[in-house]
Amino acid sequence: MNKMPDKNIFKRLKRFIEVNEVNKKMTEGRCMKCKKQVEIKDAKDTTIKGKAGVLAAIHGVCPHCGTKVFRIVGKKK
């Protein structure tokens, strides 16, 4: 028999794709030497102190030139 797949499967697949796109964007940062948006190589989570309190950040290396790349993600939860 030719059954239609359950609608929940499509919802779960759409959510999976959205989450993966968000995770990919989180590992991107701006390289000041290349002057473009790059995916951070060897990305590591870290925290910094600022006026707004403790902030979560990601740091790593630019895959093209090897310069340090740093991205502030938001407030530490």
Residue pLDDT, tens place only, 17-76: 665 555 555 688 889 999 998 988 888 888 888 887 888 888 899 999 999 998 888 776
DSSP string, 24-53: HHHTEEEETTTTEEEEPEEEEEEEEEETTE
What is the average pLDDT across 5-21? 65
- The overall pTM is greater than 0.85: no
- Using DSSP's 3-state secondary structure scheme, residue 75 falls into strand
CA distance 69 to 72: 10
